[in-house]
Structure 1
């Protein structure tokens, strides 16, 4: 894996607009645009195979962890109120369908270089200790449209223009697999004919006066609606603020008073449980199907990292993680404090081996408690300007299938909301 300079397309903003990706100019570090195609990450095919295998392995172990938590009734450790325990248990036992998720991965330099001696069997048992799980964005993962659509368009156009080598490829089957998964859910899981209604909801704004549309969430929902439509659904875009509940009809309603029977929501489950309408969720099970499902509460919470290490100690793709930092203090790698429900690096604190604070981010999380994870040992990648960058790999899972990757890079040790998106390609 190496970072290379690439000449950007002269009309790259218009080309991003053409695939429904409109928030490319969100301000990132140093006032730069969020989408950065002045660089790219080049991978060798065996490296991609290792990431694919690690993703499949980690998803399987996460399924083991959910089964363990449900059977042992360890919901309280995840901060789930008791009145919703049965909702989560029933969602898991009934195998409520999932569409997607994104693992954040890193190459841990302290584990040695990835084994590139040969391509491992697809989803086999070959593991690389260099591929480490940082966290799992299992409920409301974003960076979807730029991964599935924008960077694939970039690959095709830059290859055709001779900017990338002939025969360059990309680990990116996200679009095709999303359509396949939605069709599987419509036919095999829900038994619906073509044209069945599917609501898709995101949060319109942050609730502040004169607040503007959250464009990133809306573009993500709009793109997901395209894939659902290609799979035979009749999608309807709505906002979470417009959902209401009819006591008479015992159903959730959209702004047009249409009953909501199936809904994909880009809105955290833990927020739903804490709100007024949360009390209606257990009673409407069977009348309203939510995607992502309620059992994702156990995967979108960083308490998962603690349970994974407890169940699979010394697993080569895991970093040690605990509910208290004591076991990690004094180690050469240092450790990271992560709020259980944090997003985009908010309220993350990084400590070195002497327990000194190295870096921290502000935010609105932390009241729910923290977990403590051994710090992955990155080697910053120097840019042309001589500034070091830290890259995190987002590895997508669609259904149960590894689907592709994206890369976010930042000048500091915490990947936050100022990190830039950089496309990738596989060298021929």
Structure 2
């Protein structure tokens, strides 16, 4: 794995617009655009296979952890109010379907892949991973900037369509043309559209449509519970029977309608499901280390920092996002760096500091996607410091040596226009 400088494509913004990715100019470090194609991360095929295997292994261990927490009734450790314990248990026992998730991984460049956290409920970076960086690879190969045999670990689009098809037909028993609501938060109180969330949900709607659904985009602000009809309705009073939401479960259970979520089981199917409350919470890291100590893909993690005495560690809020309220501590326990933010009242977990590949001046976090139970591709976000926050830049990647082996890694195959 290494980082190489690249010359951006002429009119790269227009090209990204063509695949439905419009928030490329969000401000990142130094005022630069969020999308950075002036560089690329280069992997060998064995490195990609290592990441793929680690992703599959971590997902399996996460499923073991959920089973353990549900059977042992350890919901309080995750801050889940008592009235929702049965909702989570029923969602898990009924095998409510999942579409996707994204592991954040550290790779040391020498064979070790470590879990930083699991964005299991509302992962973003979807459209830029599945569509934008594949378009970049395709066009860079065609213009000669990359070798014709350069590949990419990126089967995200095809696998999403496949998983949505499986859920529609095999899991929900729905005929083609069935309605699927897809919801995101419109704004954070200022009235301005959250473009990143909207573009992500719009892209997900395209994959659902390709799987035979009739998608309807709505906003979470429009979701309401009808006391008369005992149903969730959208802003047009249409019943919400099946819904994908880019909105965290930990927020949903605090909404005014949250108390009706348990009684709506059977009437409304939510994706991602309620059992993701146990995976999107960083308390998961503590449970994983407890169940699988010394696992090669796990970092020591504890509810208190005492067990990490004498080694550098990171403190993370259990429900934090985008690096907010994360602090880095040296071996003496002294905080050497801390990020501001609104999280932390829910408590912290403490995780040993990870080793990253020696990329000069950069910390590169690998986002490794899982669709259903299948590793689906990766993305890279980089910062100049050890905390990956909301100013991290997205940098595309490619595999330098040889094509992806058939039956192992899933490589992308969509054209640059198919997701517009």
Written as runs of structure 1 = structure 2, the 5 A alignment for 1:325-340 is 325-331=305-311, 334-340=312-318
Among candidates 186, 209, 223, match of residue 229 of structure 1: 209
- SS of equivalent to 1:381: coil
Q: If the length of structure 2 is used for normalisation, what is the TM-score?
A: 0.95
Partner of 1:405: 378
Q: Is the 8 A contact 2:244 2:271 kept in 1?
A: yes
Written as runs of structure 1 = structure 2, the 5 A alignment for 1:14-413 is 14-108=14-108, 113-114=110-111, 130-208=112-190, 211-331=191-311, 334-382=312-360, 388-413=361-386
1:306-357 per-residue CA deviation (whole Å, 9 max, x = no partner) reads 00000000000000000000011212xx000000000000000000112221
Gap runs ≥5 in structure 1:
115-129, 383-387
- SS of equivalent to 1:105: strand
Relative CO higher for 1 or 2, CA cutoff 8 Å, sep ≥ 6? 2
Partner of 2:405: none
Separation in 2 of the partners of 1:238 and 1:7? 39
Separation in 1 of the partners of 2:39 and 2:211? 34
- SS of equivalent to 1:367: coil
Q: Is the 8 A contact 2:4 2:42 kept in 1?
A: yes
CA RMSD of aligned residues (A): 0.7
Partner of 1:417: 390
Separation in 1 of the partners of 2:211 and 2:67? 30
Q: Is the 8 A contact 2:27 2:391 kept in 1?
A: yes
Separation in 2 of the partners of 1:261 and 1:237? 14
- SS of equivalent to 1:359: strand
Separation in 2 of the partners of 1:195 and 1:407? 36
Separation in 1 of the partners of 2:101 and 2:224? 27
Separation in 2 of the partners of 1:88 and 1:132? 28
1:115-135 per-residue CA deviation (whole Å, 9 max, x = no partner) reads xxxxxxxxxxxxxxx100000
Partner of 1:119: none
Shift of 1:380: 4.4
Write out the 4+ residue segments of structure 1 that deviate beyond 4 Å after TM superposition.
none
Separation in 2 of the partners of 1:343 and 1:87? 24
Separation in 2 of the partners of 1:242 and 1:135? 31
Shift of 1:377: 2.1
Partner of 2:408: none
How many residues align? The count is 401
- SS of equivalent to 2:106: strand
Q: Is the 8 A contact 2:108 2:358 kept in 1?
A: no
- SS of equivalent to 1:274: coil
Shift of 1:378: 2.5
Partner of 2:414: none
